[in-house]
């Protein structure tokens, strides 16, 4: 196996209900991958398994070939470089944009020490770099409360990047965004691929198309189809279960 993230034959039931059944997923280092599927397909459970929030009943989950993720927990997977961005932003609204990033850069320290710490030049450079990356360089001094919903999502991605993850799991980043923000988010995630492995769970098909990457369609806890967006959307089974046409 040469995948950075390798799931094979994964199963997970909840009270006898099979949420994940024979799931295999292989994602290469630096790859951008979109995961789509109807409600209840098992997308959240899959991400819970990757991050060690949930343990599979069966199957293999490996990270960088050697690390068995079925034996880790959420804190452990974060230490290994697996970062997860949930849908709901958790930015601290009373802080400026740059202070939110600054805080995220120092989350290994106590919050009080962090808030009153002097910023080193290297730290300031890294904040600037991250703000450019997430399209917020012009907003750095603004209170985070003033940001649009989309900008808050980008800030959250910046805060996650401050932890220097190797893999980013991003849950429905385009939900609630304007069309312009949606397209800029697709660009941002494409920029991150290469230097990061990025897995995006998403419903918005226009957004998935703009990601221009391999798509995995989940249904009933397993992979129904995989390939380009054109390839999977031409699959009659996918059309039936997901697109509903
Ligand atoms: P998706 O994210 O694709 O909507 P989920 O992974 O949330 O799918 O859920 C897959 C299935 O597993 C659903 O039918 C859901 O009700 C069930 N499920 C997920 N987590 C639990 C849980 N903790 N307890 C019971 N059922 C669960």
Give the distance (Å) from ligand 1 centre to CA of residue 199.
19
**Fold for the domain defined by 3-93+164-243:** Rossmann fold (3.40.50)
ipTM at complex level: 0.96
Query: Ligand 1 pocket test: which of 7, 20, 21, 40 has the largest number of ligand atoms within 8 Å of its C-beta?
Result: 40
Burial 203-226 (b: 16+ CB within 10 A, else e): ebeebbbbbebbbbbbbbbbbbbb
Phi, psi torsion values for 190, nearest 5 degrees: -65, -35
Strands 67-68, 17-27: pairing is unpaired
Q: Find the residues whose C-beta lies inside 6 A of ligand 1.
A: 14, 17, 19, 37, 39-45
pLDDT (tens digit per residue) in 32-86: 999 999 999 999 999 999 999 999 999 999 999 999 999 999 999 999 999 998 8
| pTM across the whole model | 0.92
Please, is 229 exposed, middle or buried when counting C-beta atoms within 10 Å of its C-beta (0-12, 13-18, 19+)? buried
Residues in the chain: 245
């Amino acid at each position: 196996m040469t995948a950075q993230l390798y799931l094979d034959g994964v199963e997970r039931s909840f009270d006898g209900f099979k949420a994940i059944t024979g799931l295999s997923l292989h994602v290469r280092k630096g790859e951008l991958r979109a995961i789509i599927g109807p409600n209840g397909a098992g997308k959240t459970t899959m991400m819970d398994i990757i991050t060690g929030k949930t343990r599979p009943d069966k199957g293999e989950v490996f990270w960088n070939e050697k690390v068995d993720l079925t034996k880790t927990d959420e804190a452990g997977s974060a230490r290994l470089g697996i970062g997860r961005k949930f849908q709901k932003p958790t930015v601290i609204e009373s802080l400026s944009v740059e202070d939110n990033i600054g805080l995220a850069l120092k989350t290994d320290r106590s919050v009080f020490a962090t808030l009153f710490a002097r910023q080193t030049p290297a730290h300031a450079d890294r904040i600037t770099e991250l703000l450019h990356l997430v399209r917020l360089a012009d907003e750095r001094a603004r209170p985070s409360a003033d940001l649009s919903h989309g900008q808050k999502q980008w800030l959250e991605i910046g805060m996650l990047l401050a932890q220097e993850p190797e893999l980013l799991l991003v849950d429905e980043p385009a939900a609630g965004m304007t069309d312009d923000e949606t397209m800029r988010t697709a660009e941002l995630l494409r920029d991150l691929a290469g230097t990061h492995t990025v897995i995006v769970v998403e419903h918005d098909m226009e957004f998935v198309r703009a990601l221009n990457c391999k798509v995995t369609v989940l249904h009933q806890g397993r992979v129904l189809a995989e390939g380009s967006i054109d390839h999977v959307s031409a699959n009659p089974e996918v059309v039936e279960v997901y697109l509903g046409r």
